[in-house]
Structure 1
Amino acid sequence: MKVRFFLSILIGFIGFTSCNNSSSKNNEVSDTTLTEVVKKDTVVIPQRVLPDDGQVGVRKGAVFLFKNRGFELFSGGEAMGRQYAQVINSYNRLQIPGLKIYNLIVPNGFEFEVTEPYKDKAKPATVAIEAIFKAEDPQIIKINPVDEIRKHRTEYIYFNTDHHWTSLGAYYGYRSFCAAAGLTPISLDTIPSKVKPGFLGLFYRLTKSSILKNNPDSVRYYLFPDSVNFYIGTSKSLNYWGKSKMYAEQVSGANSYSVFLQGDLPICKMETQHKNGRKIAIVKESYGNAFSPFLTNNYEKVIVVDSRYYSGDFIGMLKAEGINELLFINNIFAAHTPFHISNIKGLTNPGSPKAKP
């Protein structure tokens, strides 16, 4: 396996656990005066490789510094992707009555910033995603959000100093999901939001780069109009749900991404006023934190499980909660990482030890 893949995976290992450790301006509700800087290019180039713009990239440890931002460079192999596909297939082959299964794989930020001199630095996301889809059962509903996200590549869709997507990037992933699930996505035009400024994420913590320090991020989260009851569950019981809040509004600075779903909780539940019979469980790593709140606009019930930390009776939970849709959402590194794949598989074996990076 290539050295650069090990370096890239190292970033993923640290980043996927970092959350626990650590719109329209007219509708913005902010306790700060700083909002994120959104690029305003007038032309969106649809192809993957962009013309050489003279920007020079340099590696600093496991981080690729380019265009005043930090990036991971993906080079995952097809064999590992097939292992991920087989784990997703195993849930389909449980043949749980009435359960519809989706698989959404999220590209990382470099996919949308590749220029001609660096086109061979990272494997194209769609090549890897489609290889996984090819190995999956036909019953699995497959969602590749690359084209939808690429349409908006000049917007603030990935952080400058962190490996995650922003809530706007997650929104475009949500739109891709809605298209596959027969749902109408909510429009952000009239949704108020709040912003947490001064976010310096994983890439800055790894490099202490002055370039990144001078290009800090802000974390926007949306205040959806529908009433949502938010509960935190436990691996020990299918019946315990403690009422809490969907957003950890007290977090700030380096921990700002943990505002979404209070970080990496093992399991949480959102119940809404939509009485449409649609009840979904989401199996995710930290990319799912910014994504999952959007589904409260479409589902009666949304349960979010972090496969790295939940060790309870997952299948029993699906049945007890009347879940009829199951979404696996993982970033492209997680879908090619042995410990993530192992932990997703392990959800069918309550109490099994969790694999570690």
Structure 2
Amino acid sequence: LPTSSSFYLPEEYSNLAYSEKDDFDKIEESLKGVIPVDAYNILNAHKDEAIYSRTDHHWQPLGAYYAAEQFALMAGVPFADLSEYETVTLPGYVGTLYMYTQSATLLNNPEDFVYYKPKTPVTVTQYDTHFKNPVAANLLLDPSPMPNSGYYMVFGSDERIVHVNTECKNGRNLVIFKDSYGNALLPMLTSSFENIYLCDIRYFDLNAIDFIDSVEATDVLFAMCSFSAVGANRSCIHNNLKK
């Protein structure tokens, strides 16, 4: 998944970043038995919309929607139109960039955080990173007690495995290995798979292949931003081979 720098980095700062598109193309060339999902071009086509936050290093849920739609197309599963969701707008969002910097410029220039709630019911169970200690949960958290910089947390924290059982009875079971970018994808795929397992590869204490087999997955999606694919977090993927 590209970060916002792929589309909005000012030209005068282009020498400070590598081309994420080049990275994605090189990764795709090396894949064997894996279907690449082109999130870059679909997001580029919508870059004039609010697909990334101005005040946060994450994308906005609208960006996740377009990427999820592209994935569903490649996977050959149904996909709900955005009109089938309830739209929730939270004003005054200043995001993680403010949380990290305490910048008055960001504080004085907030944005809206807009997310989408599926209208169809789902059953959600959260587990620890060993896939133990199940607890019933909601798909999305209540943002009312959250600080303005924490609205992305409506999708929950990363240190858990989440199982979502849906009304889409197509026998397709999806495992998503993700970083925090992948959290926003989960609500967008509840009309596409019967069971979804959301696992953060940075906090995953099981062997990934054994886990995939144990939940009888029919599909596996790697949904991480470029930093996790080619930056420091890539070691988490490599180290999982030894678990």
Report the TM-score when normalising by structure 2: 0.90
Residue 2 of structure 2, aligned match among 81, 102, 107: 107
- With 117-126 and 271-280 compared, the bigger mean Cα shift is at 117-126
Query: How far did 1:192 drift?
Result: 1.2
Query: How far did 1:337 drift?
Result: 1.8
Q: Which residue identity does 2:62 align to in structure 1?
A: L
Equivalent residue number for residue 131 of structure 1? 26
Query: How far did 1:132 drift?
Result: 1.3
Structure with greater helix percent: 2
Equivalent residue number for residue 219 of structure 1? 113
Q: How does 1:1-357 map to 2 (within 5 A)?
A: 106-137=1-32, 139-237=33-131, 240-250=133-143, 251-252=145-146, 253-260=148-155, 262-338=156-232, 340-350=233-243
CA contact under 8 A between 2:20 and 2:226: conserved in structure 1? yes
> Structure 2 unaligned runs (5+)?
none
Distance in 2 of aligned mates of 1:150 and 1:270: 30
SS in 1 for 2:41: helix
SS in 2 for 1:142: coil
Distance in 2 of aligned mates of 1:321 and 1:184: 21
CA contact under 8 A between 2:126 and 2:161: conserved in structure 1? yes
CA contact under 8 A between 1:235 and 1:313: conserved in structure 2? no
- With 123-132 and 280-289 compared, the bigger mean Cα shift is at 123-132
Query: How far did 1:274 drift?
Result: 1.2
Q: Which residue identity does 1:247 align to in structure 2?
A: L
Q: Which residue identity does 1:255 align to in structure 2?
A: G
Q: Which residue identity does 1:111 align to in structure 2?
A: S
Q: Which residue identity does 1:222 align to in structure 2?
A: Y
CA contact under 8 A between 2:131 and 2:161: conserved in structure 1? no
Query: How far did 1:178 drift?
Result: 1.8
SS in 2 for 1:219: strand
Which one scores higher on RCO, CA 8 angstroms, separation ≥ 6? 1
Distance in 2 of aligned mates of 1:199 and 1:167: 13
Q: Which residue identity does 2:149 align to in structure 1?
A: A
SS in 2 for 1:316: helix
- Give the total of aligned pairs: 241
SS in 2 for 1:283: strand
SS in 2 for 1:247: coil
Report the TM-score when normalising by structure 1: 0.63
Q: Which residue identity does 2:235 align to in structure 1?
A: S
CA contact under 8 A between 1:109 and 1:165: conserved in structure 2? yes
Q: Which residue identity does 1:212 align to in structure 2?
A: L
Query: How far did 1:200 drift?
Result: 1.8
Distance in 2 of aligned mates of 1:237 and 1:148: 34
Query: How far did 1:206 drift?
Result: 3.1
SS in 1 for 2:36: strand
